[in-house]
Amino acid sequence: MARRLSTTCRLFVATVLLSSVAGLVGCASGGEAETTSGGNGGKGGNGGVGGGSAGSSSTAGSSFGGSDVGGFAGAGGDSTGGMGGVGVGGSDVGGAGGATGGSGGSATAGTGGMAGSAGSGTAGTGGSTGNPEVCDGLDNNGNGQIDEGDPGGGAACTVAGEQGECAKGTLHCVASQLRCQADNSAAPEVCDDLDNDCDGQVDEGNPEGAQACSTGLDGICSLGETRCDTTGSPHRVVCDPNVTPGTQMESCNSLDDDCDGAADEGNPGGNQACTISGLQGPCRNGTTNCVAGQLNCEQQVFSTSELCDGIDNDCDGALDNAPSGQTLPGVGDACSVSGAQGQCAIGTQSCVGGGFQCNATYSSRQERCDGKDDSCNGQIDEDSALNMCTRNCWDLGLLAQGQAIPNVTSTTLQCNVGVCELNQSSCPAGRADSNGNICDGCESTVCNSSHTSTCGSPTILSGTVNGQIVTLNGEAYFIVSLNKPNPATNQSWNPTITLSAASKSNGYRMDVMSSCSAAATCPVSGGSGTSTNGSNKTQWSMNYGAIRQSNCGLGNHCTDNSTPPGSVLVKITRTSIPGSGANPECAQFTLTFSQ
């Protein structure tokens, strides 16, 4: 049968419920809880809300749950905290364990209450004694748990039997004992001044080394390889260059080999002799030059005209060879043969062995009258004039080899400074050299008469003159006065000078001169018309009449009504002695002046 709570208990429960479950004193359904000063809490009634009231001085009251709800924990005594109530489960619901230990007295804190024993309902929760938990397999704090919260754990420790990072540990409560558990397991070694693989060595085997890296340097020195530097503390990974700056010379490869910030500077590998494929002679000789990272063989010598110098100037594979139909410069030029005299020293150059050689073009021979040392003995024209002049005629083909010059003697011929001269006065009686040809000697018979005169002493020509000039290129001069017979009248006047046609065929020539050196023109001073030179004429004529003509007509006739003053000179020259037969040089000329 259910019990009712006492009035006091009901008031107390109500009060405690308003403030804290832990503050409830023991009450019993159907009866009041026991209370003792300083003793245990009263025993809860069956089925009621049990709980002993707090002891006044030492131990909290305990309560046992009734059939319905477990008893509440007693409150702690005044001096020593009371023990928490022990809730015992009722028949329907497990008793609730004491919520907390009794409130501590002024000296010692109360211990936590024990959990209520399970009834047919839900187990009660444990209380707390207020003592710290330690790693000993006991529920030191009375909360129903053993060694919760890793009591005594968290401190650093050293793992027995381990090395390096594997020896570093932390204390933990394991199986009710404080044990040192390792913080790290063995791992690959890294460059950190630690024994990561726990073998007792630090950073052995160059950890994190031998990896490609960038050094930050110029050129090929920028490529490097990592290395674990153990010289300092802490150890660190550094990047060593594969090529140390300044240890490698620059090469022609578009790379900065000497790591100075520039590639291929200074023409590396350049200015070296090389050979150009496909070319011949000096054209194949080149010089290296670094261009865009490649060494090129660049031509230095180019084809030129071939010279006599032992060099293949035109790069055709042959030395000192002239182009077809041509000769090398200097080949064939005149030169002097070393050690030779006279004509024998005369030579021409040929190209031999890359240089010029003087080859004699003349062989020693008997002297000629030529002002030369034909015998190459250092003397000139030292033989007799007759012998030397005879050889001259042989050389000219004017005499057959071995034939003598006719009608001359050694006293007749003279060699005067390389020229053969025939002394006319030395010709045999009745003979003369009329053609000036030394090689036929005094070939002519002396003519019965001749006509010679000079420009300074000309012969007056007033009609017809017959004469002879027996010497080749001999001359005769005549003067003609040009005076109009009747100057006052306006009559026609035709002064005419004529050399006969036979005279011209006999080798004579007529020139009409205004002076000894200038040929006369038509008209002469005072006349008019187109000028006509008076050289080499057979007829020279002027036609003056009443009517003036504007020009000279055919046949060198000019017409003018003025009176021409002065005179002209007529020069007759024997230009040749043509024909053969008896005394052809004696043929005459005929010259006529009419008006």
Question: Facing residues of 31 across strands?
Answer: 28
Sign of CA dihedral 189, 194, 197, 199: positive
3-state secondary structure (DSSP) of residue 54:
coil
Q: pLDDT tens, 197-226? A: 999 999 999 999 999 999 999 988 999 999
Distance CA 543, CA 522 (A): 10
Please state, as a whole number, how many other Cβ atoms lie within 10 Å of the Cβ of residue 261: 10
Q: Among candidates 86, 175, 181, which has minimal Cα distance to 125?
A: 86
Task: Look at 77-81, 122-126, 330-334 and tell me which has the smallest mean pLDDT.
Answer: 77-81
Encode 9-40: b = buried (16+ Cβ within 10 Å), e = exposed. beebbeebeeeeebbbbbbbbebbbbbeebbb
Is 421's pLDDT higher than 50? yes
Higher pLDDT, 263 or 32: 263
Higher pLDDT, 134 or 28: 134
Decide if 516 contacts 458 (C-beta within 8 A): no
Per-domain boundaries in the chain: 1-129, 459-594
Distance CA 228, CA 238 (A): 6
Residues 6+ apart with CB under 8 A from 551: 529, 530
Q: Among candidates 494, 503, 586, 573, which has minimal Cα distance to 538?
A: 503
Q: Which amino acid is it at 118?
A: A
CATH number of 459-594: 2.60.120
H/E segment holding residue 241: strand 236-241
Residue 447 is encoded by which pair of tokens? 């003519």
Q: Is the pTM of this model over 0.85?
A: no
3-state secondary structure (DSSP) of residue 426:
helix
In this structure, the strands spanning 431-432 and 444-445 are antiparallel
Question: Facing residues of 509 across strands?
Answer: 573
Residue 545's pLDDT is 55
Distance CA 555, CA 534 (A): 12
Task: Look at 47-61, 232-246, 412-426, 517-531 and tell me which has the smallest mean pLDDT.
Answer: 47-61
Mean pLDDT of 480-506: 80
Q: Among candidates 276, 267, 273, which has minimal Cα distance to 287?
A: 273
State how far the alpha carbon of 575 is from the alpha carbons of 183, 492, 499, in Å. Answer: 144, 36, 14
Decide if 75 contacts 98 (C-beta within 8 A): no
Q: Among candidates 365, 405, 406, which has minimal Cα distance to 389?
A: 405
Residue 493's pLDDT is 72
Q: pLDDT tens, 502-535? A: 999 999 999 999 899 998 876 555 444 455 778 8
User: At CA 66, angle to CA 64 and CA 72, rounded to 5?
Assistant: 45
Q: Compute the residue count for the chain.
A: 595
